Structure 1
């Protein structure tokens, strides 16, 4: 049996998150040490928590984590779950790239103004306007 401190060290999840996962039923109720009342995690629960920590790090939400745990024996379910999450991340990356292009254009705009380079300033303004349309 493993203490909550050891599980947090191994998984990287804070104690509050472990308690929350237990409270919402993401992990089964954790038995308590009869003398101390402290939680004691069995190996299977620790393995589940480590898997959940990886999913969380990959950006999966609670509902997807539940779906993952429910579909453990169904390869097509798992593949579809990860495909959907991968597609969501691809969309998020695309939105982040647009935001970065906008910020880079603003950097060029202010650098051109700082240098007094009117032509570069206008080019940066044009680029900023073009990228602004993609932000929406």
Structure 2
């Protein structure tokens, strides 16, 4: 494909990485596997230039990735997006399923947070020499561990 002229609003890979939170290697990988579509190149240097449409797509993928969506899920989202309103029900299902996955992840993170807090209480009780508080913390830690899923 021919190179394109750089426009003032085009972003370098470094700028796109900073804006999106993706590593430069991730941006190159997403381009390679077709998630970004065609990324323009500077005529003189051959360096990638992310125009507004590609930058918008990268931002959308960044949001999806930060919500835990897999590359397969992102690819499906883009396929459905290309179908427009005809795929609205499938888009709804895709996002609802990802929301459920994220909710389960959050629940597990909350359990791990409770575990850490109870362990801190246990060690604080030990520092203070408070055997009753230490025993209570041990019981809380045990209850939290019993709720972990692996």
Scaled by the length of structure 1, the TM-score of the pair is 0.86
Range moving further from structure 2, 99-108 or 35-44: 35-44
Range moving further from structure 2, 79-88 or 53-62: 53-62
Q: Which residue of 1 aligns with 2:42?
A: 33
Q: Contact (CA 8 Å) 2:67, 2:102: kept in 1 or not? A: no
Q: Contact (CA 8 Å) 1:105, 1:124: kept in 2 or not? A: yes
Q: How does 1:11-22 map to 2 (within 5 A)?
A: 11-22=20-31
Alignment size in residue pairs:
136
Scaled by the length of structure 2, the TM-score of the pair is 0.79
Structure 1 unmatched runs, 5+? none
Q: Contact (CA 8 Å) 2:125, 2:131: kept in 1 or not? A: yes
Q: Which residue of 2 aligns with 1:60?
A: 69
Q: Which residue of 2 aligns with 1:123?
A: 136
Give structure 1 regions of 4+ aligned residues with deviation exceeding 4 angstroms: none
RMSD: 1.9
Q: Which residue of 1 aligns with 2:100?
A: 87
CA distance 1:133–1:28, shift in 2 (3 Å): same
Q: Which residue of 2 aligns with 1:8?
A: 17
Q: Distance in 2 between matches of 1:45 and 1:70?
A: 16
Structure 2 unmatched runs, 5+? 1-6
CA deviation digits over 1:78-104, x for unaligned, max 9?
Answer: 111110111011101111111112112
